Amino acid sequence: MIIIKDEFTSGAQVSMEMDKDAGELFVFHCPAGQGCKVNKWPLDSYHMPIAMAYYTECCTIEQPEPDDIDSTFACMCDE
């Protein structure tokens, strides 16, 4: 069962799924054109925050780079 899923303009996908019968929690990180990396944890309250943190990390990796305007502004502030 899919708990949460994010799709990115690059074609990448990140999803969190659970198998309630097996008591397992999965995070699928599928970068565009590279297949999927799967991580698995026991489905319990201890591992849920760990899986959520990993899910967030995968989504952060897939976020688009800042546009040139933001980069220029950041560079101007450092001077």
Q: Please give the full DSSP string across 38-70, using - where no structure is assigned.
A: EEEEESSTTTHHHHHHHHHHHHHHHSPPPPHHH
pLDDT of residue 64: 75
Query: For 7-34, what is each residue's pLDDT tens digit?
Result: 999 999 999 999 999 999 999 999 999 9
| H or E element, residue 75 | helix 68-78
d(CA 35, CA 18): 20
Q: Express each pLDDT in 44-77 by its tens digit.
A: 999 999 999 999 999 999 987 665 444 444 444 4
Give this prediction's pTM.
0.77
Sheet with 24-30, side-by-side order of all strands? 2-7, 13-19, 24-30, 37-42
Q: How far apart are CA 41 and CA 78, in angstroms?
A: 42
Average pLDDT, the chain: 86
Specify the CATH number of the domain 2-78. Answer: 3.30.720
Q: Where are the domains of the chain?
A: 2-78
37 vs 71, higher pLDDT: 37
